Amino acid sequence: MTSLPLVFDAPKRGLPPRHLADLDEAGRRAAVTDLGLPAFRADQLSRHYFGRLENDSAAMTDLSPALRDQLAAELLPPLLTEVRHLETDAGTTRKSLWRLHDGTLVESVLMRYPARTGHPERITVCVSSQAGCGMACPFCATGQGGLKRNLSTGEIVDQVVAAARDSARGEIPGGPGRLSNVVFMGMGEPLANYSRLVAALRRLIDPSPAGLGLSQRSITVSTVGLVPAIDKLANEGLNVTLAVSLHAPDDELRNTLVPVNTRWNVAEVLASADAYAARTGRRYSIEYAMIRDINDQPWRADLLGDLLAPRLAHVNLIPLNPTPGSDWDASPKPVEREFVRRLEQRGVPVTVRDTRGREIDGACGQLAASG
Ligand code: SAH
């Protein structure tokens, strides 16, 4: 097993209160028996939280009032308090600002995409894995404030449960719906918070009434390319979708756009993603922010296309979203189209991501969580 270098460890602070979602099934049963209660109470509580998406113990009427108060106090402490939310796209994109137990702020973004021919409706939540981020990519707002701390498993899972609850209760225009996708593309570098991320993934995909039962392929973990962690993830028996934030096909430029490239370069990151793809049988995504006159030259498109053509990869171009303190902006549309054309010419599948949430600073790279 490879352990991650210490440089990725967040500063230590008071731990968040223990929550049901931090524990696996055995752990929940043990926690309940430690309280002198029968183990099945853990399953009952899990069904409320994961199955019915209930966090208000008063609604758990199959438990006596005294019992529900005790269980809620011990295993369902509030982890996320909504400070506010902002909406755009007629309410179908909603960014929530959450306060954690120690006052730390994080954001998540819920997006509902109506069904279109051949595609069912999609409801996606973009969640944070850390408060802040230590990766220091100069075009990303989250990177500018540095890393505050890792989120706990419960704090990650609870963002997803809150999104599933809002969807199920019809709080997003379009009526009650089912959360279908989770992307770890909010604040933070998910693979720098490895063990909590993996535990959260297990809760999200657990098909029992004590888990959320999301499909693995509809969960995407996005990384700057922490090679030892990608390698480790390939051996977890999971097959969630991997996304790699490449942003440049050459080391010279990538060293400046994604500083961790000086540690694991383009070739090493792609080799690790290939091994992940081989292990899981899943195509991976290459994320590439289109930054005017920085990484959008035709020769870079050709280089990227040549690198990716033989690989099980798909390119997601993201028009750069503006961030405070940066003069960079998105590539002009004709430049973007030429970039796409050159990739397609080499047989590389490519999509251009829509930039939902820009108006509320909720698009990729804009999450900064200022109170
Ligand atoms: N740390 C992880 C996940 C968070 S960011 C990662 O880097 O992959 C999710 C995606 O948004 C990444 O591809 C990131 O590079 C991209 N991104 C960051 N800032 C952006 C910006 N200003 N405009 C467009 N995309 C951006």
Determine the Cα–Cα distance for residues 295 and 250; give it in Å rounded to an integer: 10
Q: Look at residue 370 and tell me if it is in a domain.
A: no
CATH number reported for the structural domain that contains residue 70 in this entry? 1.10.150.530
Our mutation pick for probing the ligand 1 site, out of 295, 364, 366, 367, counting the most ligand atoms within 8 A of Cβ, is 364
d(CA 301, CA 321): 20
Q: Per DSSP, what are the bridge partners of residue 85?
A: 96
Q: Are residues 95 and 112 in the same domain?
A: yes
User: Where does a domain end: 12, 45, 75?
Assistant: 75
Q: What is the distance between the alpha carbons of residues 195 and 174, in angstroms, rounded to a whole number? A: 36
Residue 140 CB–ligand 1 contact under 6 Å: yes
Tell whether 371 is covered by a domain. Answer: no
Residue 326 phi/psi, 5-degree rounding, is -120, 135
- Identify residue 350 by its one-letter amino acid code: V
C-alpha dihedral over 52, 202, 125, 209, to 10 degrees? -10
End-of-domain residue from the set 75, 105, 138: 75
Do 57 and 132 lie in one domain? The reply is no
Residue 223 near ligand 1, beta carbon < 6 Å: yes
What whole-number distance in Å separates Cα of residue 122 and Cα of residue 179?
7
Kindly report the protein residue whose alpha carbon is nearest to atom 24 of ligand 1: 320
Same domain, 61 and 135: no
CA of 358 to the centre of ligand 1 (A): 13
Same domain, 150 and 207: yes
- Please tell me whether residues 101 and 145 are part of one structural domain: yes
Where the chain has pLDDT below 50, the residues are 1-11
The answer to whether 325 and 366 have CB atoms below 8 angstroms apart is: no
Q: Is 367 in the pocket of ligand 1 (CB under 6 A)?
A: no
CA-only gyration radius of the chain, Å = 21
Q: What is the pTM of this model?
A: 0.94
Domain count, the chain: 2
**Active-site residue identified among 126, 137, 140, 364:** 364
Is 215 inside any structural domain? yes
Q: Are both 68 and 89 inside the same structural domain?
A: no
91 and 52 in a common domain: no
pLDDT tens-digit series, residues 261-285: 999 999 999 999 999 999 998 999 9
Q: Which atom of ligand 1 is nearest to the CA of 184?
A: 3
Assigned domain for 366 exists: no
pLDDT for the residue numbered 234? 96
Q: How far apart are CA 255 and CA 138, in angstroms?
A: 11
What was the pLDDT predicted at 331?
A: 97
**Closest residue to atom 9 of ligand 1, CA basis:** 185
Q: Are residues 128 and 30 in the same domain?
A: no
C-alpha angle with apex 130: 1 to 358, nearest 5 degrees? 130
Nearest to 43 by CA among 57, 60, 29, 56: 29
Are 50 and 139 within one domain? no
Domain that holds residue 115: 81-360
Q: Give the number of the atom of ligand 1 that is nearest the alpha carbon of residue 355.
A: 24
User: Is 229 found in the same domain as 166?
Assistant: yes
- Numbers of helices and strands, H then E, in the chain: 11, 12
Q: Using CA positions, which residue lies closest to atom 13 of ligand 1? A: 245
Spacing, Cα 223 to ligand 1 middle (Å) = 9
- Do 109 and 183 lie in one domain? The reply is yes
Region at 338 (left for phi over 0; alpha for psi -120 to 50; beta for the rest): alpha
Tokens, residue 296? 């959008």
Beta-bridge partners for 291? 330
Phi, psi of 269 (to 5 degrees): -65, -45
The residue assigned the tokens 């996606």 is 124
* DSSP E strands, the chain: 81-88, 93-99, 105-113, 122-126, 130-132, 147-150, 181-184, 219-223, 241-245, 284-290, 313-319, 350-352
HSE-up (13 A, CA, CB side) for residue 173 = 9
107 is catalytic: yes
Give pLDDT, residue 4. Answer: 44
Which ligand 1 atom is nearest residue 330's CA? Answer: 23
pLDDT for 266: 98
CATH of the domain at 324: 3.20.20.70
The b/e string for 190-204 (b: 16+ C-beta within 10 A; e otherwise) is bbbbbebbbbbbbbb
Q: What angle do CA 243, 249, 255 make, to 5 degrees?
A: 90
Q: What atom in ligand 1 is closest to the CA of residue 365? A: 19
What does the alpha-carbon distance between residue 211 and residue 49 come to, in Å, rounded to a whole number? Answer: 9
Q: Are 347 and 328 contained in the same domain?
A: yes
Note whether residue 177 is domain-resident. yes
Tell me if 315 is assigned to some domain: yes
Alpha-carbon gap, residue 154 to 21, rounded angstroms: 5
